[in-house]
Amino acid sequence: MLLHARASTNAYRAPLLNVWANIEAYQARLLNARVKTEACWAPLLDD
């Protein structure tokens, strides 16, 4: 019974962890894009 409860808990947590990983990967891509954008614009903004 306890083993079954643990297995169902893991089955419930796996999608949540997957969503969290996707969010972190998305934030990393956004940060990377922002860094690249700033690197492109910096020479133009520095007079």
What average pLDDT is seen over the chain?
86
Q: What is the pLDDT of residue 8?
A: 81
The span from the CA of 26 to the CA of 33, in Å, is 11
| DSSP secondary structure letters along 1-40 | -HHHHHHHHHHHHHHHHHHHHHHHHHHHHHHHHHHHHHHH
Q: What is the pLDDT of residue 11?
A: 82
Q: What is the pLDDT of residue 22?
A: 94
Query: Does residue 2 surpass a pLDDT of 80?
Result: no
Mean pLDDT of 15-44: 92
